[in-house]
Structure formats: C-alpha cells, structure tokens
C-alpha cells in the first residue's frame, strides 16, 4: 500500500478558472486531493455541473474533468507521506464526508475574500483550498497549519518539496464515475439549484446552520 496522498494543483480549462488565474497572477487556480498516484479520482470542493458555475459542493472529480470541453489542464502533483494509522483514519474521514456530501456546500464568501487572506467560517462550507488545508492540518502533514493563508499559492509554497510531477493532466481512458460534471442540465434545474444554494449559504451565514 502506498502510504501517501496526492495533492493536485490545476489550471482548470474553464472561463472561471482563467479569470481566477488572472486575478491572482498564479499559474494554478484549483487544488484537489487524490488517494492514488494516477490521480484519476480526486476529492475537492468545486462546481458540481459544467453548465452551472455558481452551484458547488463536495465532489469526487474524474481526471476527465480536466481533459474535456475546453482543452487539457496543466497540473502539479505533490506526494505527501502519511503514517499508516493516520492514512486509515483519513480514508474513513473522506468516506464520511462523501456519505454526507449533500450537507456540504461551496464557501463562496471565502473564495471572494481569499485575495486579502480572509477566511469566513461557514458551517460545513469550504473552498478547494480550505478543504485540502484543513485535512493536511488535521493530520499534521507537510507542515501545513490552519493559520496559513487560505490561498492556492500559499499551499503550493508549503508543498514545494513534495512535487513529483508538473505538466499536462495525465491521459486517461477511464470513466466519469461519481463525477456529475458532464451531465446536461435544464435551465429550470440550473436556476433552482443556484437559488437553493445561495439560500442555504445565506441561512448559514446568518444562523450558523442549514
């Protein structure tokens, strides 16, 4: 068994990803966590559907997400060693999150304020960076701390000694699996899910609960 996890930084091939990279002046705009070196499946917080950019939550990304629709993405892969007991617990923790994924949403306020190093804490809401950062800090891995700036660049700097690959997203003949990204949606569904998402987000900001 490979006693490691893989942190994947990516320059996602979408209009939103390009906008974020221009605003941050950083090569990468997104970060995910994989349990396998082939990074064919990654956990993160991101949009659920390609056609609904403002509706996000906890997702199991397929590597195909980085090779479809708008071209191939560039990635940087970091290998982080994890002691066996902590790795088993991390697997269990991710499984619990996945089983409860409907309760977790994307933390849009944190994403918007990350440029000024603010991190609004909202109940069961994360960005891709705060999700990966919290997991690494939880298991005291790679020197990552919850007090680190919640930015992709800051996390990249922490993990610089762990880089094992940088270049185009690896080719994959696999399937989408649990990733809903390519599914076509109706305008009605897009409006409903986006409105519901922002309603849940507003209630959590105001009350701290769903």
Over residues 122-152, the pLDDT tens digits come to 999 999 999 999 999 999 999 999 999 889 9
DSSP secondary structure letters along 62-121: EGGGGSSSS-PPEEEEEEEE--HHHHHHHHHHHHHHHHTGGG-EE-HHHHHHGGGT----
Give the DSSP H or E segment for 132. Answer: helix 128-138
Question: Into how many domains does the chain fold?
Answer: 1
* Cα angle: 180, vertex 4, 71; to 5 degrees: 40
In terms of C-beta density within 10 A (0-12 exposed, 13-18 middle, 19 or more buried), how is residue 27 classed?
Answer: middle
For residue 70, the model assigns a pLDDT of: 60
Q: Which residue has the higher pLDDT, 192 or 1?
A: 192
- For 52, the domain range is 4-207
Percent of all residues in the chain with a pLDDT value above 70, rounded to a whole number: 95
Sign, CA torsion 17/18/19/22: positive
* pLDDT per residue as tens digits for the range 107-117: 999 888 876 76
Structure tokens at 139: 């298991």
* pLDDT per residue as tens digits for the range 32-70: 999 999 999 999 999 999 999 899 999 999 999 887 656
Percent of all residues in the chain with a pLDDT value above 90, rounded to a whole number: 70
Rounded mean pLDDT of the chain? 91
Structure tokens at 116: 């000024």
């Amino acid at each position: 068994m490979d006693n490691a996890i893989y942190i994947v930084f990516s320059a996602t091939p979408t209009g939103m990803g390009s906008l974020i990279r221009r605003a941050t002046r950083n090569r990468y705009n997104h970060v995910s966590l994989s349990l396998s070196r082939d990074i064919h499946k990654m956990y993160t917080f991101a949009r659920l559907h390609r056609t609904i950019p403002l509706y996000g939550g906890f997702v199991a990304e397929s590597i195909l997400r980085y090779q479809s629709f708008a071209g191939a993405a560039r990635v940087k892969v970091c290998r982080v060693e994890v002691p066996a007991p902590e790795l088993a617990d991390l697997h269990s923790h991710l499984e619990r999150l996945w089983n409860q994924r409907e309760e977790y949403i994307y933390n849009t306020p944190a994403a918007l304020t990350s440029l000024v190093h603010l991190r609004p804490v909202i109940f069961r809401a994360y960005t891709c960076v705060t999700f990966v950062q919290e997991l690494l800090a939880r298991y005291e891995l790679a020197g990552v701390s919850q007090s680190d700036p919640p930015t992709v660049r800051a996390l990249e700097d922490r993990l610089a000694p762990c880089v094992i690959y940088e270049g185009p997203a690896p080719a994959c003949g696999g399937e989408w699996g649990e990733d809903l990204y390519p599914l076509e949606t109706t305008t009605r569904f897009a409006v409903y899910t986006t409105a519901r998402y922002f309603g849940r987000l507003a209630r959590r900001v105001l009350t701290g609960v769903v």
